[in-house]
Copies of this chain bind each other. A is one copy, B any other.
Amino acid sequence: MALVVQKYGGTSVGTVEKIKSVARRVAKTKDAGNDVVVVISAMAGETDRLISLAKEITEMPDEREMDMLLSSGERVSSALLAITLKAMDYPARSFTGRQAGFITDGVHTKARIKKIEAQQVRDALARGEIAVVAGFQGVDELSHDVTTLGRGGSDTTAVALAAALQADVCEIYTDVEGVYTADPRIVPHARKLDRVCFEEMMEMASAGAKVLQVRSVEMGMKYGIPIHVRSTFTDKEGTMVVPFSEEMEAVLVSGVTHDKNQAKITVMGVPDRPGIAKALFTPIADAAINVDMIIQNVSQDGLTDISFTVARTDLPKAIEVMKEVVPTLGAKGFTTNADIAKVSIVGVGMRSHPGVAAKMFETLANEGINILMISTSEIKVSCVIEDKYTELAVRALHDAFIGERGSSGKGEEG
C-alpha cells in the first residue's frame, strides 16, 4: 500500500462533470489499496473572476484582503470534490490550508511555507478517509491571517504535503500529457519526455514551461519526492521528474521553452559610479518585483545604460518604482518595452558540452532574429528576443537541438 498525493489543476475541476471524473480517478487509486491525499486548485476561471471583482474596486487592492478573497476558490472546489466522493460512498473530508496545517510567513499573495502540521490529515488517513486539501493557501504563523502561495501555488502545496507525509509519489494532474520538449501548440512534433531530472525541470519551469511551479520542483528535489506530471483526461503515463541519473547524461538539450510574460526596462544615461546598481535594484526588490536578466552597456563619458527584465505583469508596479528612483540616480530617463519574450534551451548535458550557446545564437541568426539580451546557467541558455519571433525561434531551436519529427536529440551538439 502506497501513500499517493494527487494534485488537480483548475482545468481538471472546471465543471461539475470534470469534478466527477476527478472523483472517479481518485476512487480508483483508493480502490487499488492506496492512501490518497488530493490537493485541488480553484475551478478554472474562478481566481480570475475574483481578481477582476477586486480590480473593479481599485487597481491596487490590499494584499491581506486579496488572500482572504482568493483562498475561497480552493475552498469551494475542495468541498465540491469531497461532496462528490461521499456521494459515491467513499469516506472523504475537505481541509482548508489552515486545517491541513500550512503555516507560512506573512508575505501576502506570495507567502512561503514555514512548516506543515499535518496531524489532521494523518488522522483522516488513519480513519481510511480520502483527504481533500485546498491548495495555494495557508495561515501566517504570527497573525493567523489567511495567506496564499502565489499563482500555481497548489503545485507547491502538493509537493510540500507529499514531503511532510513522506508520500511515495506526488502526481500532478494537468490538461497536458506531461512535460514536452517544447510547447506542442508551437511545435506539433514535440515529444513528451518520459523522464526529466529535477534540475532540468527547475530551469524549464523558470524559463516558462508552465506545467509546474518552480518552487514545487525545488521542494521535490530538496525532499526527494518523485513528481509524476500526467493528464487528467487519459490513463497514459506522463513525465516522471526524478533525481539526476547517469543514463540521462547523453541528452544535450531536453527542452526548448519560452516565456512571453516578459518586459524590459532601460535606464539611460546613468552616472557610472559604485552603488548605482544597489540604488536602482533595492527599491525594486522591496516592491517584491523579481528581476530576471540585467545588462549594462560599456560606459561612455562616465554615463551608461542599464537594462533589466521583469515579469510583464509586474511592469505597472515597476514603472511606479522607477518614477520615484530614476530622478534620484541622476539618470536621463527610462524606457520600457513589453513586446519581448524569452526563449531558452535546457539540458543537463550542457555541463560537459561547450558550444551549445554558440549554436543557439547561430540558429537564431539564421532566422534573422535579433538577440536583445542573453543569460546562461550551467544547464540553460536564455535569449530575449522580440516577442513576434517567439514561435519561429522555438521551432528553429527545437529542430536544431532536439530534432525534427520526433527524432532524438542525442549527439546533435554543434
Contact = CB atoms under 8 A, between A and B. Distances in A.
B56 A16 contact: yes
A62 B89 CA distance: 11
Contact of A68 (B64, B66, B78, B145): B78
Interface string A49-80: 01001101110111011101101110110111
Nearest to A68: B79
A87 interface: yes
A54 B83 contact: yes
A80 B51 CA distance: 10
Contacts of A75: 68-69, 71-72, 75
A297 B83 CA distance: 40
A8 to B, nearest CB: 16
B144 A87 contact: no
A58 B57 CA distance: 36
A20 B75 CA distance: 26
B86 A53 contact: no
A57 B93 contact: no
Contacts of A65: 79-80, 82-83, 86, 94
A80 B72 CA distance: 12
Contacts of A83: 54, 57-58, 61-62, 65-66, 69
A72 B82 contact: no
Contacts of A99: 144-145
Nearest to A98: B98
A146 interface: yes
Given A62-B86, A75-B75, A99-B144, A57 B69 contact: no
A213 interface: no
A64 B76 contact: no
A73 B50 CA distance: 11
Given A72-B72, A75-B72, A80 B53 contact: yes
B96 A84 contact: no
Given A16-B56, A65-B86, A99-B145, 10 more contacts: A19-B57, A62-B82, A62-B87, A65-B80, A66-B79, A68-B94, A69-B83, A71-B75, A72-B72, A72-B75
The 5 closest A-B pairs by CB, nearest first: A69-B79, A58-B87, A72-B72, A68-B79, A16-B56
17 contacts: A50-B76, A54-B79, A54-B83, A57-B84, A58-B83, A60-B87, A61-B86, A62-B86, A62-B87, A65-B94, A66-B79, A68-B78, A71-B75, A72-B72, A72-B79, A75-B75, A99-B145
